[in-house]
Structure 1
Amino acid sequence: MIHQFNESEKGPLDGVRVLDLSRLVAGNMLTLFLADFGADVIKIEKDGKGDDLRSWKESDEPIYWKIYGRNKRSMILDLKSEPGRQALKKLASHADILVENFVPGGLEKMGLGPQVLLEANPKLVIVRVSGWGQTGPFSHKPGFGTLVEAMSGFSYLNGHADKPPTLPPLALADMIAGVYGAAGVLTALRAAEKEGIGQVIDLSLFEPIFSFISSEALKYQLSGVPTMRSGNQSSHTAPRNVYECSDGKFVAMSGSMQSMALRILDTIGRPELKVDKRFHDNDARVEHRDELDLIIGDFIKQKTQQENLALFEAAGVTVGPVCSVADLVDSHYIQRREVMVQLQDDDLGSITTHNIVPRLNRTPGHFFRAAPSLGQHTKEIIKQFGLENML
């Protein structure tokens, strides 16, 4: 079924207006969340090519923009011109949230710093996205997710010990920051509603992704040794790995609880290992995880992926298939839950994308409008806010 966009729907954030001056991933991830739940997100873009996310293409189609630009409006505005800056200030006076990701100080150079914007609208929530934060010794540096993923410690942990540190295959730091940013915005918006005063949110790319691995800092404090990459294994529980099946497919397994680990040993027909000093508790299994993986891997290698899944699921073992997106498209789970949906698209007829996350049972989000073409709503917005004499 192809879902149709319906601009007449109302979401729980109906009436919340967002000016999105950001480019690429973090800001778009943040404002996508707000837009999916009904906020009026106005993308402020420069003439010519607009948001750089439009240039990330596959088969000459701007697939990232089609997905992360949905439910938003687009306006062309030249912030380097005085009329453009004055128009933005007027728009800000009617907005609840403004999102930007210039190098720190960029807004100030244009005469649009937080003090100016908050004078125009004291309740405004201003989100300042940057690689390293608005303060500190790196604040002046441009920040890209790749650099943050490397410096945060994430890439050092990711991959195998005998290989170089591994970067994630997607804009992970940006996306994590976008989700954190959405939470921060809604918190600040609630405060503004109660107190009548807006504020500035300093959202770096570095701190959100570091928070995902911050237990490593305490671990280092206690041990004095940074955790080395361990592939698909875990440094603190065992068994946990990806195992190859006889048909060349893979399954993932986790025995992070003692009861589950013992159940795995029963299921592979090795109950005697439950009292083996190498495997009788989690500390022992972690120390001897390579030996344990060989035993489990040899068992799994004798059966196909489906045979393994059926056997372990019947025994109540936490196991699952390793899937490609091709596997997911035909997955019974994906189809029945509508994890992926088909949305109407003027260029392709329809596009496959993720559904709205999370699912609110009483005030859900909606598909309001397709990702806009560059400047699609400029005239509409100029008229709506009485900017005719300014632009």
Structure 2
Amino acid sequence: MPGPLDGIRVIEMGQLLAGPYCGQLLADYGAEVIKIEQPGVGDPLRHWGREKANGKALWWPIAARGKKSITLNLREERGQQIVRDLVADADIMLENFRPGTMERWGLGWERLHELNPGLIMVRVSGYGQSGPYSKRPGYASVGEAMGGLRYVIGDPSTPPSRAGISIGDSLAAMFATLGALAALRHRDQTGQGQVVDSSIYESVLAVMESVVPEYAIADFIRERTGAFLPNVAPSNVYPTKDGHMVLIAANQDTLFQRLCEAMGRPELAEDPKYVDHVARGDHQAELDAIIAEWTGTVDAEPLMDLLIEHSVAAGRIYRAPEMLDDPHFQARESIVTVPHPEFGDFPMQNIFPRLSQTPGEVQWVGPELGAHNQEVLGDLLGMSAEEIDDLRANDLI
């Protein structure tokens, strides 16, 4: 079944995660994504993350799934002209180079818009396309720090921590995708393309809830709090008898009452120290200690059964093994297997969110470098075999 973006052509330039993850999301829903990579080198993400013995990275098959790979030397005029030829019949140009790079190559917005007035140019960068910091190198870690996320992650006794994934890059890519879809809607109405400017630090800032007015109006700065949120209790990770961890979120009054029933301590729900949300927040540490003492007497599996029986929101702390074994993951096909030419069945996360009529599909794993040179240059642009051979002989592809 065609995805909802079937018929949309995306030219993806750039590398690593922030831009390419946007391309992955668009490909997931059926867009034709033509990824341009440096000849002989390719996207560094081909070698990032855990590798198998043959040097093949296990991240690349996911990050480039559903994309077509061509090689092109963008520092040469002939390579730049091929990009312009591709853009003339494309819907979206996606790039995440440092601002100014595309302009130096003759591929800036004004030039491309002149070639294709309906083109949408999605630009992902650390600090955005304008402002005094725009030309600085922009990595996700810096954007996470500047956007406020790093300051609130971790234990208060330690320096700021980081999430175990490149969350700043992923957020910038998601907002870039949102912008691309909104710009496509606008083009449907007007016929005109536009620039989508997605910065990492602003994408992080966008999910920082009310930290800005909390300071500006209430003179309050959120601090690192570890595994819990201040004044939201009980909502924490608790130990079990067999050495596992269970997250229990029972901060709502009715949920807390059900938790107390499960604990065999119904009187706690009537105790003035725990009777409502405010009271529990005021006695958070004391309440967490009571719950931890109880969970420490029960193994994880029966503890989960008991909490589910009492309709208490709770869950195990999952790693990949638990995800692969979980029946809910399996029933919803949250993880799918895609054929890989070397690894066989390759498990990866499915496409989210789910659309009932046009859900999209993971068509193939990340391709080999330049795997689609002939298809794109020959079939799409109409180059002859001699022209393609000449490009190869001159290190342009």
TM-score, L = length of structure 1 = 0.94
For 1:241-260, list aligned pairs within 5 A: 241-260=236-255
Partner of 2:143: 148
User: CA shift at 1:327, angstroms?
Assistant: 1.5
CA separation in 2, counterparts of 1:387 and 1:86? 13
1:113 maps to what in 2? 108
1:4 is matched with none
SS at match of 2:338: strand
Could you tell me how far 1:69 is from its partner in structure 2? Answer: 0.5
1:317-332 equivalent positions in 2, closer than 5 A: 317-332=312-327
Report deviation, 1:314: 0.6
Alpha-carbon separation, structure 2, partners of 1:263 and 1:222: 37
Instruction: Tell me the residue number matched to 1:235.
Output: 230
Amino acid at match of 2:38: K
- Partner in structure 2 of residue 54 of structure 1: 46
Taking the aligned partners of 2:14 and 2:224, their CA distance within structure 1 comes to 34
Of 175, 184, 195 in structure 2, the residue corresponding to residue 189 of structure 1 is: 184
- Distance between the aligned counterparts of 1:201 and 1:275, measured in 2? 54
Question: More displaced, 174-183 or 109-118?
Answer: 174-183
2:356 to 347, 358, 361: 361
Match of 1:13 among 5, 21, 45: 5
Name the residue aligned to 2:297: 302
8 Å contact from structure 1 (residues 227, 235) kept in 2: no
2:271 equivalent in structure 1: 276
Change (3 A) 1:90 1:29: same
For residue 247 of structure 1, report the CA deviation from its aligned partner: 0.3
Mapping for residues 90-169 of structure 1, pairs under 5 Å: 90-169=85-164
> Are 2:336 and 1:344 aligned?
no
Counterparts of 1:157 and 1:349 in 2: how far apart (Å)? 41
Instruction: Report which stretch shifted further, 88-97 or 334-343.
Output: 334-343
Deviation of residue 34 (structure 1)?
1.1
Structure 2 CA distance for aligned equivalents of residues 80 and 226 of structure 1:
47
Q: Which amino acid aligns with 2:56?
A: E
SS at match of 2:214: helix
Kept after mapping to 1: 8 A contact 2:30/2:361: yes
With 16-25 and 362-371 compared, the bigger mean Cα shift is at: 362-371
Structure 1 CA distance for aligned equivalents of residues 270 and 3 of structure 2: 56
Residue by residue over 1:119-147, the C-alpha shift from the partner in whole angstroms, topping out at 9 and shown as x without a partner, is 01000000111001111221110100111
Aligned to 2:395: none
| CA distances 1:96-116 after superposition (whole Å, capped 9, x unpaired) | 000111111111111111000
Residue 236 of structure 1: CA displacement? Answer: 4.1
Q: Which residue of 1 aligns with 2:394?
A: none
- Residues 263-282 of structure 1, C-alpha deviation per residue, up to 9 Å, x if partnerless? 22232222222233321221
Q: Distance in 2 between matches of 1:308 and 1:134?
A: 52
| Equivalent residues of 1:150, 1:167 under 8 A apart | no
The residue that corresponds to 1:216 in the other structure is 211
- 1:21 maps to a residue whose letter is M
Tell me the distance in 2 between the aligned counterparts of 1:155 and 1:262.
35
Q: Is the 8 A contact 1:241 1:293 kept in 2?
A: yes
Q: CA deviation at 1:89?
A: 0.7
Cα distance, 1:295 vs structure 2: 0.4
Aligned to 1:204: 199
Asked if the contact 1:87–1:387 (Cα under 8 Å) also holds between the matched residues in 2, the reply is: no
Instruction: Give the match's secondary structure for 2:59.
Output: helix
Quote the residue 2:84 is aligned against: 89
Q: Which residue of 2 aligns with 1:376?
A: 371
Q: State the SS of the aligned residue for 1:223.
A: coil
Deviations 1:62-99 (A, max 9, x none): 21110110100011111111111111111100100001
Find the aligned partners of 1:194 and 1:94 in 2 and give their Cα distance.
Answer: 19
Q: Secondary structure at the match of 1:242?
A: strand
Matched, 1:66 2:58: no
State the Cα distance separating 1:387 from its structure 2 match.
4.2
**Aligned partners of 1:170 and 1:179: how far apart in 2?**
15
CA contact (8 A) 1:132 1:139 kept: yes
Number of the residue aligned with 2:260: 265
**Count of paired positions:** 383
Q: C-alpha deviations, 1:289-318, integer Å up to 9, x for none?
A: 110000011011100001111111111111
Residues 1:278 and 1:222: Cα distance change in structure 2 (over 3 Å): farther
**Is it true that 1:23 corresponds to 2:15 in the alignment?**
yes
Residue identity in the other structure for 1:255: A
Give the match's secondary structure for 1:352: strand
**Structure 2: distance between partners of 1:341 and 1:366:** 10
Deviates more, 1:273-282 or 1:251-260: 273-282
* 2:198 maps to amino acid: L
Alignment RMSD: 1.5
> Would you say the 8 A contact 1:148–1:205 is kept in 2?
yes
Give % identity: 37
